[in-house]
């Protein structure tokens, strides 16, 4: 299928890594996606959508710093111009901000809106996905699900919302976006192992040649990322069974000091036979070379915040065999017994958590406590975890074979050069749907595009005593010149708030027209100045507000 209209990416500075921001998964993924999109989307220019014009400048500066030389075309959601000549707009989260409503100003069938899942367990994300169906979403929109497990979550939440609309309002149709499966991507070459990197990391962190180094990567948070205790227990058993020097490199950063302390205490208490270190993963040299120094990668994820998990993909790109829980998106990235091992997991059956759901919904438990109470009922099979480590530690050739298989798997499946074409193909598929499907939601009225975008003079029309019309008569009272308008604006708020419904020159022109006529109906002033009724009426109300003209013959409310 040929690309129809080059898509755009929605850019928000908070969605990519930059100085002063915490390194979190969604920002790392956003940074990587932007780089991959620039490299592999093609086209003679780069197209983006931002909320504001200042954000457009930030986008251009960002991509120029990445080495982009093509022309940059940026449209904004705010303002009167459309953003619908891009074919599709890819958003960095599962929602579309207010783009679906803003699209109603123009042609709803002119552009597709595409979001992407990261975590799907936070209250904000859950609520945004539910309210999404109340917006004018169309079948040519989409939310990219990065794994089968995540798709099951999004589908269930949307099905429940649709059921609510049918039960409460008798809805016969609830338009939904498409839910395609496309993985996150990486730049595989960024993680290539090197002999120099291995030597440098081993020397820096005191790992002798005969040591087996097991590595983790991610924030040190036991409820938002991975509870390390099962890993500590398994590695202690491994160290005792093999008698080999086992080193654990926990690479990452702590979002809370108590979490870092708990990780240190946990390693000391549960795996004293293992040489465990916490390594700052924000160090540029570490982030680049730490993979080369390790032998095996693992991360004992057991929480519902994680959805896809890029780090085992990065580890496979570095040629490391991976030992991961058989948990949500990992079963879509790790090939069991080929690129590593998936360790069995378990949690209660459906129906066991209504009290947990109630406490989260009513705010009794905040998000972290909600994650904690769920995680306490998830299990990683420690004996299987131990056996997987033993199999790899005792067989260097298996480590090499699995590492090679993982590297090839990432290059063919998860490198951006393989993933971005799937985005482009999705944009074309959505364009085909737009061509053969009618919009499900039309404009409410010429003056009310959406329930929240209503002409204020219609919405509040019962507030005033009367309304001016073209039959209203304007009488000159006193002259207004540039100096007088400047003095007036210093005290009336127009300068302070930077908003002028009528430009200064136009305002003065209309004032002069009334002065010349002395007394005239609005219709005559409109003819004299050659402007639209609305502009003239707005100017006359402003002039009358400050006693430069008098209006008579208003239509009573």
What number is the average pLDDT over the span 301-312?
A: 91
DSSP, collapsed to helix, strand or coil, labels residue 521 as strand
Is the pLDDT confidence value at 202 over 90? yes
Q: Render pLDDT for 231-242 as a digit per residue (tens, 0 to 9).
A: 999 999 999 999
Does the structure show a pLDDT above 80 at 413? yes
Give CA–CA dist 165/171, Å, rounded: 6
- Give the model's pLDDT for residue 371: 94
Long-range contacts of 456-460 (CB under 8 A, 24+ apart): none
pLDDT at 543 over 50: yes
pLDDT, residue 1, reads: 37
Q: What is the mean pLDDT of residues 471-499?
A: 94
- Identify which of 58, 135, 65 has the alpha carbon closest to the alpha carbon of residue 94: 135
- The pLDDT confidence band at residue 554, using thresholds 50, 70 and 90, is very high
pLDDT of residue 474: 97
The angle formed by the CA atoms of residues 50, 177 and 147, to the nearest 5 degrees, is 90
Contact 510, 490 (CB under 8 A): no
CA separation for the pair 459, 454 (Å, rounded): 7
What is the mean pLDDT of the segment spanning 191-220? 96
96-100, 111-115, 313-317, 414-418, range with the lowest pLDDT: 96-100
The beta-strand segments (E) located in 264-383 are 275-280, 296-298, 322-325, 340-343, 345-346, 379-380
| DSSP 3-state of 279 | strand
Q: Is the pLDDT of residue 15 over 80?
A: no
Which two three-digit tokens encode residue 477? 């009272």
Question: Mean of the per-residue pLDDT values for the chain?
Answer: 92
Q: Which structure tokens are listed for 380?
A: 């990683």
The predicted-structure confidence for 495-517, as pLDDT tens digits, reads as follows 899 888 899 999 999 999 999 99
- Helix or strand (DSSP H, E) at 8: strand 8-10
Sheet of strand 473-476: strand arrangement: 519-521, 473-476, 549-552
DSSP-assigned letter for residue 348:
P
73-82, 108-117, 459-468: least confident range: 73-82
- Give percent above pLDDT 70 in the chain: 97
Helix axes 482-492, 504-517, angle to 10 degrees: 120
Q: With cut-offs at 50, 70 and 90, classify the pLDDT of residue 106.
A: confident
328, HSE (Cβ side, Cα atoms, 13 Å): 26
Tens digits of per-residue pLDDT, 322-336? 999 999 999 999 999
* Cα distance between residue 511 and residue 520, in whole Å: 12
Per-residue confidence band for 195, with pLDDT thresholds at 50, 70 and 90: very high
C-alpha distances out from residue 392 to 206, 241, 291, 333, Å: 22, 13, 17, 19
pLDDT (0 to 100) of residue 12: 86
pLDDT the model gives residue 16: 63
Average pLDDT estimate for 470-474: 97
Instruction: Quote the DSSP letter at residue 15.
Output: G
- Position 3 scores a pLDDT of 46
Tell me the mean pLDDT in the region 154-180.
94
Whether the per-residue pLDDT at 18 is higher than 70: the answer is no
Please determine, for residue 397, whether its predicted confidence score (pLDDT) is greater than 60: yes
Cβ proximity of 318 and 293 under 8 Å: no
**Does position 395 have pLDDT exceeding 50, yes or no?**
yes
pLDDT at 27 over 70: no
Can you list the domains of the chain with their CATH numbers? 8-184+421-436 (3.40.50), 188-414 (3.40.50.2000), 464-556 (no CATH)
What is the pLDDT at residue 535?
A: 96
Who wins on pLDDT, 81 or 371?
A: 371
Q: What is the pTM of this model?
A: 0.88
Question: pLDDT by residue (tens digit) across 242-298?
Answer: 999 999 999 999 988 999 999 999 999 999 999 999 999 999 899 999 999 999 999
How would residue 4 be classed by pLDDT, with cut points 50, 70 and 90? low
């Amino acid at each position: 299928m040929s690309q129809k209209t080059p898509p755009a990416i929605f850019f928000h500075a908070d969605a990519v890594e930059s100085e002063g921001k915490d390194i979190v998964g969604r920002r790392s993924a956003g940074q990587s996606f932007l780089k991959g999109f620039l490299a592999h989307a093609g086209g003679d220019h780069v197209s983006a959508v931002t909320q504001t014009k200042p954000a457009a400048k930030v986008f251009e500066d960002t991509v120029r710093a990445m080495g982009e030389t093509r022309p940059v075309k940026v449209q904004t959601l705010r303002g009167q111009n459309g953003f619908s000549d891009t074919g599709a707009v890819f958003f960095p989260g599962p929602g579309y901000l207010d783009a679906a409503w803003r699209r109603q100003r123009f042609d709803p069938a002119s552009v597709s809106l595409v979001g992407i899942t990261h975590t799907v367990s936070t209250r904000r994300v859950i609520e945004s996905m539910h309210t999404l169906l109340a917006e004018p979403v169309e079948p040519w929109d989409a939310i990219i699900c990065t794994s089968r497990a995540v798709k099951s979550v999004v589908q269930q939440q949307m099905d429940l919302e649709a059921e609510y609309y049918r039960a409460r309002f008798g809805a016969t149709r609830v338009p939904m976006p498409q839910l395609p499966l496309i993985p996150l991507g990486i730049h595989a070459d960024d993680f290539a192992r090197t002999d120099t990197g291995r030597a440098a990391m081993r020397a820096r962190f005191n790992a002798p040649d005969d040591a087996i180094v097991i590595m983790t990567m991610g924030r040190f948070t036991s409820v938002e990322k991975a509870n390390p205790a099962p890993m500590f227990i398994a590695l202690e058993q491994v160290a005792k069974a093999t008698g080999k020097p086992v080193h654990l490199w926990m690479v990452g950063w702590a979002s809370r000091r108590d979490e870092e302390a708990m990780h240190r205490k946990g390693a000391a208490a549960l795996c004293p036979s293992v040489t465990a270190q916490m390594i700052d993963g924000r160090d540029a040299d570490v982030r680049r070379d730490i993979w080369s120094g390790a032998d095996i990668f693992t991360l004992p994820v057991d929480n519902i915040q994680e959805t896809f998990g890029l780090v085992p993909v990065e580890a496979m790109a570095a040629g490391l065999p991976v030992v991961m829980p058989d948990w949500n998106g990992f079963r879509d990235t790790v090939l069991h017994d080929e690129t590593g091992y998936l360790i069995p997991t378990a949690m209660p059956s459906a129906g066991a958590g209504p009290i947990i759901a109630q406490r989260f919904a009513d705010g009794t438990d905040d998000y972290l406590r909600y994650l904690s109470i769920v995680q306490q009922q998830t299990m990683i099979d420690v004996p299987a975890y131990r056996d997987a480590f033993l199999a790899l530690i005792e067989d260097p050739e298996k480590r090499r074979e699995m590492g090679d298989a993982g590297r090839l798997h990432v290059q063919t499946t998860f490198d951006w050069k393989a993933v971005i074409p799937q985005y482009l193909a999705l944009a074309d598929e959505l364009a085909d749907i737009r061509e053969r499907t009618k919009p499900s939601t039309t404009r409410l009225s010429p003056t009310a595009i959406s329930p929240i975008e209503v002409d204020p003079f219609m919405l509040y029309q019962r507030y005033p005593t009367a309304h001016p019309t073209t039959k209203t008569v304007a009488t000159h009272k006193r002259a207004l010149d540039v100096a007088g308008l400047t003095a007036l604006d210093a005290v009336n708020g127009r300068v302070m708030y930077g908003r002028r419904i009528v430009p200064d020159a136009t305002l003065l022109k209309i004032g002069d027209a009334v002065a010349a006529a002395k007394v005239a109906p609005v219709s005559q002033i409109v003819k004299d100045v050659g402007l639209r009724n609305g502009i003239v009426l707005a100017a006359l109300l402003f002039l009358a507000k400050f006693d430069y003209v008098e209006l008579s013959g208003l239509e009573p409310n």
